[in-house]
Structure 1
Amino acid sequence: MKCAICEDKRCLRGEECRELSTFNDRRKNIEAYLEDKEDMGIMEASASVPKNIPRLEEVARYIENMSIERVGVAFCKGLHKEGRVIHKFLEDRGIEVYSVVCGNGGIDRGEVGIKKNSDVFEISCNPLGQGSVLNKLKTEINIAVGLCVGHDMLFSKYSEAPVTTLIVKDRINSHNPIEALKNL
């Protein structure tokens, strides 16, 4: 599959793509959506959110459309201020919000086998712990805020609730990774 470099994009006009049909059965996808109420609910709620609003508002509207009551925010310690703003923004909308910092549990890097730069305590991120805490709090959706590459994957892997990413960490480009593409 090479959709990113396809010039035709027949599929976006509702036409069958010869290359895609080898890997993906359109009819089975449709049936799967129609059979799974949870997946269909996600699709419907997503489709009903306006696309001309900021991502934070889009996430909030999605939460409201899904009648979600308990939301988790897993954030990087480097984006603590942003985590606080998101937490309060959602809470002010009447949503029950729980937030967990990446360094939760106070694990030293050496304890998990990560090379240390000195003998003093060096905090290790704990994405498994973030997922575990939010699982125990029975969140219905979790929001990733600036988690490191790899840590975001582990958080998603261990989260029992669906995960959406609100902020992607990119220290060089003010957390806007698309900026790096402009120079390629």
Structure 2
Amino acid sequence: MYNCALCSIHACSSGKLDMAPKNCPCLNDEMDEIKSLYKDEENHNIAQASSLIVSDSYGTKTRLEETIAFAKKCGYKKIGLAFCIGLVEESKIISKVLSYHGFEVSSVICKNGHLSRELIDINNTKVAMCNPIGQATFLNESETELNIIVGLCVGHDSLFIKYSKAPVTIFAVKDRVLCHNPLAVIYQADTYYKDKLFPEDINQK
């Protein structure tokens, strides 16, 4: 088990491996095998492009600008958008921006196919189910080289990533309560959202 989120040493960043806890990934025997995977051409290009963007424009470019720069550094021409129907206007703008910057954009909405929720054993509803597998399938058919997720629901994004043949990056995530800014709950974890995130055990009351 690894506990990097709870680590206060971060030997991985400082390089002081003699201070690393016993379960630190830095000390794992598999690290050499992991490093070898970066020799794969696609992995190398993606890792290099993303690292250069961080060093060249740290704190100066928006996520959208970084995505454009990343795609260009990787040499991608065909971009796919897998978007939520609730963010159709936002996706329209993203598509126009990407097209303006020279990319061929294919976009597939979450409700594609108008599938009944009875398919997943949810009855008594007329609302069409989201179809992330369909989104991935149709973007695969379009031979996209990079797919961008725009506001897919929790879990639907998982299925899309599972079936996408092209690498996937995320532009926006779904959070209906916090205007698609899920980190807001983290910033208020000790105040407004404390009771929801850390509810007292009813057995101790």
Whether these two folds match at TM > 0.5 is yes
Which of 107, 120, 123 is matched with 1:115 structurally?
A: 123
- On the 8 A contact 1:51/1:58 being kept in 2, the answer is no
TM superposition score normalised by structure 1: 0.92
1:136 aligns to 2:127 (yes or no): no
Instruction: Find the counterpart in structure 2 of residue 43 from structure 1.
Output: 47
Give how far 1:102 is off.
0.1
Q: Percent identity between the aligned chains?
A: 39
Aligned residue type for 1:85: I
Q: Distance in 1 between matches of 2:136 and 2:32?
A: 34
Find the residue that maps to 1:19 and give its secondary structure: coil
Instruction: Specify the SS of the correspondent of 2:138.
Output: helix
Structure 1 residue 32 corresponds to structure 2 residue 49: no
Query: Number of residue pairs matched?
Result: 180
Which residue of the other structure, out of 64, 70, 83, is the alignment partner of 1:62? 70
Question: Shift of the alpha carbon at 1:28?
Answer: 2.8
Offset at residue 96 of structure 1 (A):
0.2
Once residues 31 and 94 of structure 1 are traced to their aligned partners in structure 2, the CA distance between those partners, rounded to angstroms, is 34
**More displaced 10-residue stretch of structure 1: 126-135 or 40-49:** 40-49
Which of the pair has more CA radius of gyration? 2
Matched, 1:71 2:75: no
The equivalent of 1:15 in structure 2 is 16
Using the alignment, how far apart are the partners of 1:8 and 1:81 within structure 2? 44
User: What RMSD over aligned residues (CA atoms) do the two structures have, in Å?
Assistant: 1.5
TM-score, with structure 2 as normaliser: 0.83
Structure 1 stretches (4+) deviating beyond 6 angstroms? Answer: none
Partner-residue secondary structure (3-state), 1:48:
helix
| 1:116–1:122 CA contact under 8 A, matched in 2 | no
Cα distance, 1:14 vs. partner?
1.9
Cα displacement string for residues 51-74 of structure 1 (whole angstroms, at most 9, x for unaligned residues): 321101110100011110101000
| Structure 2 residues not aligned, in runs of 5+ | 190-205
Separation in structure 2 between the aligned mates of residue 112 and residue 5 of structure 1, nearest angstrom: 37
Amino acid at match of 1:137: S
* 1:83 equivalent in structure 2: 91
Residues 1:94 and 2:102 aligned together? yes
Structure 1 residue 22 displacement after superposition? 5.5
Unaligned 5+ segments in structure 1 are none
Distance, in Å, in 2 between the alignment partners of 1:31 and 1:122 is: 47
- Relative contact order: is structure 1 or structure 2 higher (C-alpha 8 Å, sep ≥ 6)? 1
Please name the residue that 2:175 is paired with: 170
CA deviations 1:130-184 (Å, max 9, x no partner) are 0000000000010011000010000000101111111011111110000001121
Instruction: Provide, for residues 108-142 of structure 1, a one-character-per-residue CA deviation record: whole Å limited to 9, x for no partner.
Output: 2224422333xxx3211000000000000000010
Structure 1 stretch 56-65 or stretch 17-26: which is displaced more? 17-26
Match of 2:185 in 1: 180
